Chains A and B, each alone.
Chain A
Amino acid sequence: MSAVEHPAPPPPAGPVPYDKAFAHRLLADMLRIRRLEEKAAELYGETKIRGFLHLYIGEEAVGVGALHALTSADNLVATYREHAHALLRGMDMGALMAELYGTREGCARGRGGSMHLFDRATRLFGGNAIVGGGLPLAVGLALADQMQGTQRVTACFFGDGAVAEGAFHESMNLAALWRLPVLFCCENNLYAMGTAIERHESQVDLRGKAASYGMPAVAADGMDVVAVHEAAKEAVAHVRERGGPMFVEFRTYRFRAHSMYDAELYRQKAEVEEWKTRGPIHTFTARLKAQGKLTEDEFLALDAAADAEVERAVAFAEAGTWEAAEDLSTDLYTPPGAVP
């Protein structure tokens, strides 16, 4: 019996059911996110990055497993903890890092920063920093697709904290009522800032809430990229084929502070340590090695590639330029002639 308040699940076991190439892709993507964010934390210390910076470290299996179940035609609505999601959609890491620097070369020209990554080309409709604020947008995007006869899934990510918001309940109801193709992806990392889930939810099994709106709801081990990907694939297929929404709860854990300012008074060190032993990167690495699908040299090569990409991204951001202050009100409204 674990002595911690929120015990980690048993470590993922069993063979990884993917070919080498795809397994390596998943691992590479988790490493890219991890190295990017470790670097971002370092740069925050150097004050190159300011404001709020929410790291996804520990949760990488969720983003990677889930987003690999989508196609480039699908829509994505994300939260303020969305570096991974932007990157996995295909945003250039340089444009992402430049946005963290706040330069004109950033994906939102430095207007948004870490919490507001946008990318029209990859159908990333933001980085939303109002808890629950993205859910109604996702419902509307799916409504637009339904009305226009476009075959597309809108994936919407949000935390366990968002489940307590009215926006969550209103959006679930609307999506189910109108049978809209929304995939609700709850990243349950057991805390909303410093408030543990049993202190903010009357019913901690979040599936029941979604099920009460009449949509299928499942949970998956969010520390296991295989479990995430399998659950996401099934859910995406359900949404695509049936046209109605579905809810997936990914049970995961945040290894770092909520943002860069957080004394972590609300959780036990031992709990964090226990969950770290279930870290999605090293458990997946160990499984692949045990199966003979990965050598140490291959791992080092993937890691080195991630590091190199991060280095290039930093160099790109360092070479960035500032938007002119005179352009402050550019794009407050759409300029004449621009097609929205």
Chain B
Amino acid sequence: MSRRISYREAMREALRDALRGDPRVFLMGEDVGRYGGTYAVSKGLLEEFGPERIRDTPLAELAFTGAGIGAALGGMRPIVEVMTVNFSLLALDQIVNNAALYRHMSGGQFSVPVVIRMATGAGRQVAAQHSHSFEGWYAGIPGIKVLAPATVEDARHMLAPALADPDPVLIFEHAALYNVEGDLPDACEPDIRSAKVMRPGKDVAILAYGGSLHKALAAAETLAAQGIDAEVVDLRVLRPLDDATLMASVAKCRRAVVVDEGWRSVSLASEIMARIVEQAFFELDAPLARVCSEEVPIPYARHMEEAALPQPEKIVAAVKGMFA
């Protein structure tokens, strides 16, 4: 059995569950309370849980993210909402220099059980300063875990294991997904370790995550009509990467395309390609390909923005290039 639900509602249900289930859990961030959440994810939670636990913060990404880390050190289970990844750059020091390092640098004395959520990605004509995809940068940092829920199932079920995790977990929610509806199965086995094959295929592995997953699935449909049977894998967890699932898919299909909304150079896509070369080079029948964002600031004008981002047509073209 399943029910129809939006990504936003799924996330909200996950938050509500977490807040009901553990008095140590609280949500803090800019406009999470009275405003109802920038993307309306936390709408209604203030009324149910009150201003202590649905805590509006000033515009101070560095301090409130650091305060979340400190509160985690102090025994709480904070969920810090950074409005978008763009503004998380102002909090980067606390995430990298405190959250990620504390356990190791203290010789194992202090874990930081904080969850930091943020919206990411482009595609809504909000121009260059609001269209970044920096999750790949974060995925390069030892000491944290990085999740990218792309489905209603993961929006609903990744938060609980993230909160149960004793180490810092970052959750990237693609802003274009909040309105997307999907079928949420009643029974799920949530994990924050594995990648997932979303569409089995045999001719090419398309490895994607977040907002790009849906573009990859659309591309796979187009390819199917043209006789190419693509396997689509949702990375789900960007750090640590589930190499085993990715390599199994690559080995089966013998061709692979990585789709990543981050800028191409030094991207998550580059890392995945390097791993494929290291671990599955002899399984390949064709050079690897990637579809990333063009290396320009993301423009405002719709046709220009579309040209800058990964699109199903670009994925289709990349795949067909492998069979040429």
Chain A residues proximal to chain B, CB less than 8 Å: 75, 106-112, 116, 118-120, 125-126, 128, 130, 133, 135-145, 147-148, 166-167, 170-171, 173-174, 177, 330-334, 338-340
B108 proximity list for chain A (CB < 8 A): 109, 330-331, 338
Are the CB atoms of B166 and A136 closer together than 8 Å? Answer: no
Most B Cβ at <10 Å: residue of A112, A142, A170 = A170
A135 proximity list for chain B (CB < 8 A): 63, 66
Bound CA span A120–B63, Å: 23
Query: Is B297 interfacial (CB-CB < 8 Å)?
Result: no
* Cβ of B69 to closest chain A Cβ, rounded Å: 6
Our pick among A116, A139, A141, A177 for the contact of B105 (Cβ within 8 Å) is: A116
A339 proximity list for chain B (CB < 8 A): 166
Given contacts A108-B109, A166-B62, contact A174 B57 (CB under 8 A): yes
B80 closest partner in A (C-beta): A140
Bound CA span A121–B198, Å: 48
Given contacts A126-B106, A166-B62, contact A334 B67 (CB under 8 A): no
A118 proximity list for chain B (CB < 8 A): 105-107, 109-110
Query: Is B113 interfacial (CB-CB < 8 Å)?
Result: yes
Q: Which of B1-9, B70-78, B248-256 contacts A (4 or more CB under 8 A)?
A: B70-78
Our pick among B76, B143, B166 for the contact of A338 (Cβ within 8 Å) is: B166
B112 proximity list for chain A (CB < 8 A): 340
* Cβ of B26 to closest chain A Cβ, rounded Å: 7
Are the CB atoms of A144 and B106 closer together than 8 Å? Answer: no
Bound CA span A137–B66, Å: 5
B104 proximity list for chain A (CB < 8 A): 111, 331-332
B61 closest partner in A (C-beta): A170
Are the CB atoms of A144 and B71 closer together than 8 Å? Answer: yes
Q: List 24 A-B contacts (CB under 8 A).
A: A111-B104, A116-B105, A133-B66, A133-B94, A136-B64, A136-B98, A137-B70, A140-B70, A141-B71, A143-B71, A170-B58, A171-B63, A171-B66, A174-B63, A174-B64, A177-B58, A331-B104, A332-B103, A332-B104, A332-B142, A333-B143, A333-B145, A334-B166, A339-B166
Are the CB atoms of B66 and A136 closer together than 8 Å? Answer: yes
Bound CA span A334–B109, Å: 10
Bound CA span A171–B105, Å: 23
A136 proximity list for chain B (CB < 8 A): 62-67, 69-70, 94, 98
B52 proximity list for chain A (CB < 8 A): 147
Are the CB atoms of B110 and A120 closer together than 8 Å? Answer: yes
Bound CA span A173–B60, Å: 9
A166 proximity list for chain B (CB < 8 A): 62
Most A Cβ at <10 Å: residue of B111, B112, B143 = B111
Are the CB atoms of B111 and A125 closer together than 8 Å? Answer: no
Are the CB atoms of B113 and A340 closer together than 8 Å? Answer: yes
Query: Is B167 interfacial (CB-CB < 8 Å)?
Result: yes
Bound CA span A137–B74, Å: 9
- Top 10 closest pairs, chain A to chain B, by CB: A140-B70, A136-B66, A144-B74, A340-B111, A170-B63, A109-B107, A140-B67, A108-B107, A118-B106, A170-B60
B69 proximity list for chain A (CB < 8 A): 136-137, 140
Are the CB atoms of A331 and B107 closer together than 8 Å? Answer: yes
Bound CA span A145–B75, Å: 9
Query: Is B134 interfacial (CB-CB < 8 Å)?
Result: no
Given contacts A128-B98, A332-B143, A340-B112, contact A140 B72 (CB under 8 A): yes
B102 closest partner in A (C-beta): A126
Are the CB atoms of A333 and B103 closer together than 8 Å? Answer: yes
Our pick among B64, B65, B76, B106 for the contact of A147 (Cβ within 8 Å) is: B76
Query: Is B93 interfacial (CB-CB < 8 Å)?
Result: yes
Query: Is B211 interfacial (CB-CB < 8 Å)?
Result: no
Are the CB atoms of A140 and B73 closer together than 8 Å? Answer: yes
